Amino acid sequence: MNAIISASELAGDLAGGNPPVLLDVRWQLSTAKAAGAPAFDGRAEYAAGHLPGAVFVDLDRELAAPPGREGRHPLPDLAEFGAAMRRAGVSSDRPVVVYDGGQGWAAARAWWLLRWTGHPDVRVLDGGLRAWEGPLSTETPVPEPGDFEPVAGTAGLLDADGAAALARSGVLFDARAGERYRGEVEPIDRIGGHIPGAVSAPTTENVAADGRFLPAEELRARFEALGAAGGTEVGVYCGSGVSAAHEVLALAVAGIPAALYVGSWSQWSSDPERPVAVGPDPR
């Protein structure tokens, strides 16, 4: 099953006999608050217009636990996550399609969480809301409660020690912008740089100008050139486990399984005992 779905395919599925549950996860990483500007309000964007029948999901409150020692977007409490998904109408026997405003990061976080906790059929709308050509709605649906019960996966998740080990034994991709990887700038976390051994692979380079993913063969060629070839074990991290989920999704499109370090740089860099590398060289 493909991990993404086009807008035209989605329109066809919505007209079919078992239409997918739609989750709207509009969110943006923003430093606007520090500059005195209002932060991005995904719920307000949703209220102004969304795919008909879509339910809003709050990334910060429903797809992550509060910030702390585990990072800025730690794994959510599974009981609370499950309750939020059931309120949104998610059931194990019904497909789910997740979208955001077009960047794809937040939708990928929801996709990863649902897949990691056992949902068998989740896809991300390729290109997000910008790709949708159908009508939008301002009505807030009240879906029939779902029955999805999340169960933590036994694979696909890295902690800090696992990420450090994978950077030595396999390939660990850093999905942040190159300047953050190199430690030239760090607008959010305590210190700049990267996990020693990690390879810079900005997730922004996995998509075209319209926000849609590059063709699978191009993605596979990119990741293989960066070291993800020949059955090599792959992991990904970013700032707080959101844009890295988008890179895990891109890897899935390319047919390459990858694990996610959810704590990412926000957790790693907060521990002064963890080593930090700077510059373009992985080590």
SS3 264: helix
pLDDT at 35: 58
On the CB side of 31, CA atoms within 13 Å amount to: 5
Burial letters 175-199, b for 16+ CB under 10 A, else e? bbbeebbbeeebebbeebbbbbbbb
Share of the chain above pLDDT 90, in %: 90
| H or E segment to which residue 51 belongs | none
pLDDT at 31: 52
Residue of 64, 66, 46, 65 whose CA lies nearest to 54: 46
Q: What is the DSSP letter of 257?
A: -
Residue of 97, 88, 83, 82 whose CA lies nearest to 18: 97
Check if 238 is active-site: yes
The predicted model scores a pTM of 0.95
pLDDT at 39: 77
- pLDDT digits 0-9 by tens, 192-226: 999 999 999 999 999 999 999 999 999 999 999 99
pLDDT at 255: 97
Cα separation, 45 vs 63, in Å, equals: 18
Residue of 76, 79, 47 whose CA lies nearest to 64: 76
Q: What is the DSSP letter of 173?
A: E
pLDDT at 1: 62
Contact 157, 181 (CB under 8 A): no
Catalytic residue among 75, 124, 238, 260: 238
42: left (phi over 0), alpha (psi -120 to 50) or beta: alpha
pLDDT, tens digit only, all 283 positions of the chain: 699 999 999 999 999 999 999 999 999 876 545 556 677 788 999 999 999 999 999 999 999 999 999 999 999 999 999 999 999 999 999 999 999 998 899 999 999 999 999 999 999 999 999 999 999 999 999 999 999 999 999 899 999 999 999 999 999 999 999 999 999 999 889 899 999 999 999 999 999 999 999 999 999 999 999 999 989 999 999 999 999 999 999 999 999 999 999 999 999 999 999 999 999 999 8
Contact 193, 278 (CB under 8 A): yes
Here the tokens at position 210 are 């319209």
Enumerate the H helices of 66-159 as residue ranges: 78-87, 105-116
pLDDT at 36: 62
181: left (phi over 0), alpha (psi -120 to 50) or beta: alpha
Contact 90, 148 (CB under 8 A): yes
pLDDT at 28: 83
Using alpha carbons only, what angle is made at residue 141 by residues 140 and 145, rounded to the nearest 5 degrees? 140
Give, rounded to a whole angstrom, the gap between the first and last alpha carbons of the chain: 37
pLDDT at 102: 87
SS3 59: helix
